[in-house]
Structure formats: structure tokens, C-alpha cells
Amino acid sequence: MNKRQIGTSDLVVSEISLGCMSLGTNEHIASEIIDRALDSGINYLDTADLYDQGINESIVGKAIKGKRDKVILATKVGNHFEPGKEGWYWDPSKKHIKNGVKDSLTRLGVDYIDLYQLHGGTIEDPIDETIEAFEELKQEGIIRYYGISSIRPNVIREYITRSNIVSVMMQYSLLDRRPEENVLDLLHEHNISVIARGPMAKGMLTTNGLAQVEKKGQNGYLDYSYGELKGVVSRFLELAEDRTANALALQYVLQHPALATAVFGASSIEQLEANLRYGHSKPLDDDLYKELQAISKPNVYDAHR
């Protein structure tokens, strides 16, 4: 498995990685998926305190027990909830971050987190207070590095200027090319890595893509109509040729030098294996990359600019 460095950190991660949100609550199945991912060479696992209100962190923690040295572990904070109670609210305060990391460490069963991420963010946040919390946790050795999970260009620019983030997680795929407008290049210029989520666009960029368009794309997707989605996905599947559609979707987002890893979800071993075939695909050449761009839209952000 090829590996890439996250920003200026000493975190070196597999270029495809496992997002844990889709694992479900069956500990046995989740453990099997994580074990297979680690055996394949994946070393980056991404979870969040909000996923199943802490249950996901607990499941991940049990699955990696005795394997901590094989894992670059990332989780997130910022959504304030009380286990057992419905709902949550946005809370990027220093107090919540300091309390949240303690809860995450307990659920994960670890004494430090490799990459701690703010799970969102708005321009109205007390950004300096949030940064101060992360910096103190880093100095205390509780976290190794921190980043943000945000698609908002205005928030991202503030953290570039005011913080020591090493990464930004954002939605990015052939069907969601918004980061290409200026965010990817900007982050690359500042040696901050991108962790891409949603590279398969809700499964529409997989071997089962047309069925997923029928299931999830009836009302369109971003600025694509249903008809446009069918056309783009059909052509995308044709261009996959001697590689799987899953592999091509992953290769597309990983083509930009700002990318550290593409995070995919899996709720079964079969889904995991479909994405692991990426490792056996021939490289994506410039001609095919340009053709993929030609069949899709260069989406742009219409808010949070």
C-alpha cells in the first residue's frame, strides 16, 4: 500500500483509508472489517465522537486493542451530545473540546490520538479559543496533531492563517469537484494535506453506480439533475475499462498533490474488498484524468466563500 505524509506532520498514512462511520454496531463484523483493512496495508482509521453517540469509538477501540502501533487513529469533536439523549448542538468551545477528548480517549481505550479534528466549523465560531484548546492538548501529549473537517472556504482560510492544522477533511469526488476551484491549491501551497471523504459520491461512482443513481439520485446531486447523473455515471463506468469503477473514483481524487488519503466507508467485508482492488490498478494517466474532468462539472461553492 502506497503511503503519503499528512502535511508537515510525521504521520504517514495509506493513500486509501477506512472511514468508520459505516461500520454499524455489530462488534464482530466491525472488527472483521478493521482487521482485514489493517492486514491489507491500510493504517489510517477515521471516526468521530458523534458516530452512534460514542458507540463507534468504543467499537473501533476494541477492534484495535493490541494493534495500536499499526494504526494512525483520527477522531473528531465539536458536536455536543449526551449519550442516550436525542440531538446535539454545535460547541467549538475550549471547555467542550477538553472534555470531549477525555471521553474519546476512554471510549477508544488509548492514551493519545494521532489526529484530532474539529468536526465542522463556522466563521462565527470563537476560532482562537478553539485553536488554543487544540494547541494545549498537543503540548500535553494527548493529541499528536490537529486538523479540521470542513468544506467551507471561509473557515478553511481562517485556520490556514491562524492555526497549525496539518489537514483538512472535505467532501471530494468526481461529482463534487468544489474543492478544485481554489481550496486544493491553496492548502497545497501551505503544506496542509487534504483528507477526502465521500470519494464514491454515495456509491454512484462504484461498479454498482447506476443502481445507486436510481436509488439516491432521483432528485439530483449538487448541481446535477437526475438525467445528467445517469449520463455522467454511464460514461464513467465505460472509462473504467480494465480497472474497477471504485478504483477509478479513488484514483481521481488522489491525483491532486494536496491529497494525503481518500477515506471510504464499508459496512461489509465485500464492500471493503471492492475498494482494496484499487491497489492492483494501473496508474491514472493525464489523458484519462482530463477525460474524467471533461465528462463532469467543475462545481463551485455557492456559500461560505
**Whole-number Å distance between alpha carbons of 303 and 300:** 9
Q: In this predicted structure, what is the pLDDT of residue 242? A: 86
Mean pLDDT, residues 214-233 taken together: 97
Give backbone dihedrals phi and psi of 44, rounded to 5 degrees, phi first.
-110, 120
**Whole-number Å distance between alpha carbons of 155 and 5:** 23
Q: pLDDT tens, 90-106?
A: 999 999 999 999 999 99
Q: In this predicted structure, what is the pLDDT of residue 241? A: 86
Question: Does residue 11 register a pLDDT over 80?
Answer: yes
N-to-C CA span, the chain? 36
Mean pLDDT, residues 57-72 taken together: 96
- Confidence category of residue 14, pLDDT binned at 50, 70, 90: very high
Residue 172 near residue 199, CB atoms below 8 Å: yes
51 in catalytic set:
yes
Q: Which alpha helices (H) appear in the chain, and where do they start and end?
A: 27-40, 55-63, 94-108, 127-139, 153-162, 183-189, 209-216, 226-240, 245-254, 269-276, 286-295
- Confidence category of residue 52, pLDDT binned at 50, 70, 90: confident
Ranges 45-54, 77-86, 170-179: which has the least confidence = 77-86
- Which among 42, 297, 270 is positioned nearest to 175, based on CA atoms? 297
Q: pLDDT tens, 193-208?
A: 999 999 999 999 999 9
Q: What is the DSSP letter of 175?
A: T
pTM here is 0.96
Distance of CA 119 to the CA centre of its chain: 11
Tell me the helix, strand and coil percentages in the chain, rounded to 5: 45, 20, 35
Query: Which of 51, 172, 221, 224 is the catalytic position?
Result: 51
Using a 10 angstrom Cβ sphere, with 0-12 exposed, 13-18 middle and 19 or more buried, the burial of residue 182 is: middle
Q: In this predicted structure, what is the pLDDT of residue 49? A: 93
Mean pLDDT, residues 258-266 taken together: 98
* Triad 144, 148, 153: Cα angle to 5°: 150
Q: What is the DSSP letter of 177?
A: -
**Whole-number Å distance between alpha carbons of 300 and 185:** 14
Mean pLDDT, residues 168-173 taken together: 98
Q: In this predicted structure, what is the pLDDT of residue 82? A: 84
Question: Does residue 265 register a pLDDT over 90?
Answer: yes
Residue 167 near residue 194, CB atoms below 8 Å: yes
Q: In this predicted structure, what is the pLDDT of residue 225? A: 97
Mean pLDDT, residues 152-164 taken together: 97
**Whole-number Å distance between alpha carbons of 226 and 224:** 7
User: Which distant-in-sequence residues (6+ apart) come within 8 Å of 17 by Cβ?
Assistant: 42, 43, 44, 45, 46, 195, 261, 262, 263, 264
Largest CA distance in the chain: 53
- Which among 161, 129, 160, 165 is positioned nearest to 145, based on CA atoms? 165
Using the structure block, give the residue that is written with the C-alpha cell 504521520: 11
- Confidence category of residue 86, pLDDT binned at 50, 70, 90: confident
Q: pLDDT tens, 16-31?
A: 999 999 999 999 999 9
Using the structure block, give the residue that is written with the C-alpha cell 449520463: 231
